[in-house]
Structure 1
Amino acid sequence: MSDVETVAVELLAQLVGIDSVNPALMPGAAGETRIVEHLEARLTAAGFATTVVPAAGHEGRPSLVAVPPGPDDWPTVVLNGHVDTVGVAGMPEPFTPRIDGDRLVGRGAADMKGGVAAIVAAAEHLVAAGAPVRPVLALVADEEDASLGSEAVIAALPGIGVRPDACLIAEPTDGVLCRSLRGFALVRVTFAGRAAHSSQAELGSNAVTHLGRLLHAVDLRADSVRADSGELLVTLASGGSSAFVVPDRAECLVELRTAPDRSSADALALVRGLLEPEWQAEAELLTHREGWRLDDHGPAADLARRLGAELGAGSSFEAPYWMEAPLWQEICPTLVCGPSGGGMHAVDEWVDLRQVRALATALTTVLGDWRPDAD
């Protein structure tokens, strides 16, 4: 095992040992402060200039940017990963890393502290070796919820003096290159009925009945959306307030997943098109994110080819879910590749240490002599 591989595994165990559950998902959870402090101290000692970037309006939700020494005309690659995790319900020892063969078990091991450990170890190795490249680390908060961290870091980079030629996101892809990911949108539909005694239901207007009709309409439309590489479903529904009362209110959340070349903002028009006037329903677009495809040409495509050759990854990954690549693509060509395992967001999460080691080694090889004008 090489030095960079050993460092990556040791760092991974340290990171899993730090509680960084996202408080937006689990109120009162630890958040990212401790893990950012740990990484800031480490990277400062390794010669990086570190900047803690807060999420505006969200106290205790820091991200970290670590800029290595070196002239500005060296190629600059952002190595990005998120340091928050989902909750730990049902896990007896979520923050006690346990190695079982080639698996490291613990919350966040695969999603995505394995990727973070690999990119940090690689960046440290490149700096220590004097490689003519600037591997800037962007270690962000809140990816598991609203992407507050990446949005804050992207806005802060010009002031830090970082103009990236490319960005690599080390999200779990089973060690192969991600070629695309789907966008998504969330629409809330509210129904206004009219309350009445349930023994005289004809005097009221049943909001739950109208909700049920929308559920059926969504199911009917879902097949055509799926045929277009998307997904449409209701993920949350509620209505009524009491027994023996005709419900005067109901609501649901409709989720749309879109193919990379489809606009997620179209979700609002799609849902409104399913509503009937007599339902007294209002639809509101709560959030949406666009999909993404890896460039065919340019710096990210070149890095992808080189990294794939080093990893021996002949296959590719079309992600059914969303990652932050579209945010980074707005400022520089972006690619996604990182170590996976199993049990992500589940009670038995683990990462494949072979993939962690392989990514750390491949990055040191590929970035050591990389130039962004290559294609």
Structure 2
Amino acid sequence: MTSTTATATAVPATAVPSAAALAWTEKLVSFDTTSRNSNLALIHSMADELTAHGITPLIVPSPEGNKANLFATLPAHDGTVTGGIMLAGHTDVVPVDGQAWDSDPFAPEVREGRLYGRGTTDMKAFSGAILGFLPEFLSRPLAEPLHFAWTYDEEVGCHGAVVLLAELAARGIHPRVGFVGEPTSMRPVSAHKSSQLYRVTVSGIAAHSSMTSTGVNAIEYAARSIAFIRSLADEHRLSGPFDESFVVPYTTANVGVVSGGAAVNTVAEKCDFEFEFRTIPGVDPEAVISRIEVNLARLRAEIQQENPAADIRMVPLGTVPGLSPEGPRIALELAQDLTGHAVEESVVYATEAGLFQQAGIDTVVCGPGSMDQGHTANEYIELTQIAACEDFLQALATHLFTTERTTKP
């Protein structure tokens, strides 16, 4: 992706983060908010901090009530609460199961200039820096509102962001610009792929393996479907379309989970598998899934010819739209200005930014740390990256204050 020019106004990163940013990051990491768990203890801790600063938090629960989003607004100097800039992050983290950690992943430790713990990079340091910086944001009048958004279940399909956006729309709150603080080493990212997750369930007919003609093998039909998905992946890999701004410059697909069968001498009655595909901007995810649905319909007809009680069904698990570089580009230009990085980059992982963009919020991804450390054992973030995030927040506060002063008559 071609880099664009921006005026660098951000202050160079200091050697270490503030005590407040580090303390808040450590506190957030200490909550085990693995996506399978509740995040309510963390949400209420953050809400209490907002309340202590005179900010009214909005807690938006999940449909089940065991998780929640958190949203808050610092109004503009004239009381305006719509429009403005939104800083957004997710509160959940991926599991540590099966990983060999050198320390307790939920007891953060500073070692050799790095903060270790699950979620340090992805992405609690961004939230910790914001909470530590609250007094500075509150110390000056703002030209336009500043919003804070924290979501649940980003790691398993961005479900929380969907619920939050619906609530904001119902309240008439519509931020103008969004910054999603996923780890980008504080470099502005204007594009990422979509992420589409599905589960396929094949229901066959069990039988003894010596009598295969009386049964229907669910594993065999699942395998045929998996082979078709792989053929689509190969087609995109070989024939494109291509977008060279991505490290992997084409649409990808992957079958990541397969489960089925009871015994080697039994015709498999059931087989489930889960797959995902990630489209580059310009490739319609609906067109990809339509081809998979057509193939499944053909296989369904064949399996029901063997036995009408057999079936194949597919259900969506999560749909995250891609982030497109097309649009107003106000967020990109502001991020370039605030970070001092005159670049425009893309990433292969998906974020909530695509959902915010789809909702009409001009959004880029820009946050501390590197995804090279995200999701790994001994996940860590360089302390200098937390400090760089604070410099970004300081530049944002100065931008809002300066804009407010220069727009006065």
Could you list the runs of 5+ residues in structure 2 that have no partner in the other structure?
A: 1-13, 242-249, 305-310
Q: 1:152 aligns with which of 135, 154, 163?
A: 163
1:137 aligns with 2:151: no
How far is 1:80 from its partner? 0.8
The code of the aligned residue for 2:320 comes to R
Question: Is the Cα–Cα contact under 8 Å of residues 4 and 122 in structure 1 kept in the other structure?
Answer: no
Question: Is the Cα–Cα contact under 8 Å of residues 264 and 289 in structure 1 kept in the other structure?
Answer: no
Counterpart in the other structure of 1:26: none
How far is 1:261 from its partner? 2.4
Q: 1:232 aligns with which of 239, 253, 256?
A: 253
How far is 1:2 from its partner? 9.7
Counterpart in the other structure of 1:266: 287
| TM-score calculated relative to the size of structure 2 | 0.79
How far is 1:120 from its partner? 3.2
Q: 1:13 aligns with which of 19, 26, 42?
A: 26
Counterpart in the other structure of 1:334: 363
Q: Structure 2 CA distance, aligned partners of 1:161 and 1:71?
A: 18
Counterpart in the other structure of 2:49: 42
Q: 1:293 aligns with which of 319, 324, 327?
A: 324
The code of the aligned residue for 1:39 comes to M
1:352 aligns with 2:385: no
Distance 1:119 1:239, change over 3 A: same
Q: Determine helix, strand or coil for the equivalent of 1:113.
A: helix
Could you list the runs of 5+ residues in structure 1 that have no partner in the other structure?
A: 24-28
Question: Is the Cα–Cα contact under 8 Å of residues 177 and 330 in structure 2 kept in the other structure?
Answer: no
Higher strand share: 1
1:307 aligns with 2:335: yes
1:63-83 residue CA offsets vs partner (Å, 9 max, x unmatched) = 222222442348621111111
Q: 2:267 aligns with which of 246, 265, 280?
A: 246
Question: Is the Cα–Cα contact under 8 Å of residues 119 and 170 in structure 1 kept in the other structure?
Answer: no
Question: Is the Cα–Cα contact under 8 Å of residues 79 and 168 in structure 1 kept in the other structure?
Answer: yes
Q: Structure 2 CA distance, aligned partners of 1:155 and 1:212?
A: 39
Q: Structure 2 CA distance, aligned partners of 1:307 and 1:247?
A: 54
How far is 1:61 from its partner? 0.8
How far is 1:3 from its partner? 11
How far is 1:118 from its partner? 2.6
Question: Is the Cα–Cα contact under 8 Å of residues 263 and 290 in structure 1 kept in the other structure?
Answer: no
Counterpart in the other structure of 2:59: 52
Counterpart in the other structure of 2:90: 82
How far is 1:164 from its partner? 1.4
Question: Is the Cα–Cα contact under 8 Å of residues 171 and 338 in structure 1 kept in the other structure?
Answer: yes
How far is 1:122 from its partner? 4.2
1:105-139 residue CA offsets vs partner (Å, 9 max, x unmatched) = 11110111011123334454222233434221112
Distance 1:302 1:105, change over 3 A: same
**Alignment RMSD:** 2.9
Counterpart in the other structure of 2:246: none
| TM-score calculated relative to the size of structure 1 | 0.85
Question: Is the Cα–Cα contact under 8 Å of residues 123 and 364 in structure 1 kept in the other structure?
Answer: no
Counterpart in the other structure of 1:66: 72
1:246-299 residue CA offsets vs partner (Å, 9 max, x unmatched) = 2243332232211122232334322134454434553424143321214443xx
Counterpart in the other structure of 2:234: 223
Q: Structure 2 CA distance, aligned partners of 1:3 and 1:40?
A: 26
Question: Is the Cα–Cα contact under 8 Å of residues 17 and 384 in structure 2 kept in the other structure?
Answer: no
1:32-59 residue CA offsets vs partner (Å, 9 max, x unmatched) = 122112211212222322222212x222
Distance 1:163 1:278, change over 3 A: closer
The code of the aligned residue for 1:271 comes to I
Q: Percent identity?
A: 25
The code of the aligned residue for 1:60 comes to N
Counterpart in the other structure of 1:116: 127
The code of the aligned residue for 2:28 comes to L
How far is 1:176 from its partner? 1.1
Q: Determine helix, strand or coil for the equivalent of 1:49.
A: coil
How far is 1:307 from its partner? 2.5
Q: 1:256 aligns with which of 240, 260, 277?
A: 277
Q: Determine helix, strand or coil for the equivalent of 2:68.
A: strand
Q: How does 1:23-38 map to 2 (within 5 A)?
A: 23=36, 29=37, 31-38=38-45
Distance 1:37 1:249, change over 3 A: closer
Q: Determine helix, strand or coil for the equivalent of 1:153.
A: helix
Distance 1:200 1:160, change over 3 A: closer
How far is 1:192 from its partner? 4.2
Q: Determine helix, strand or coil for the equivalent of 1:191.
A: strand
Greater Cα shift, 169-178 or 180-189: 180-189
Counterpart in the other structure of 2:212: 201
Q: Structure 1 CA distance, aligned partners of 2:269 and 2:160?
A: 40
Q: Structure 1 CA distance, aligned partners of 2:342 and 2:172?
A: 36
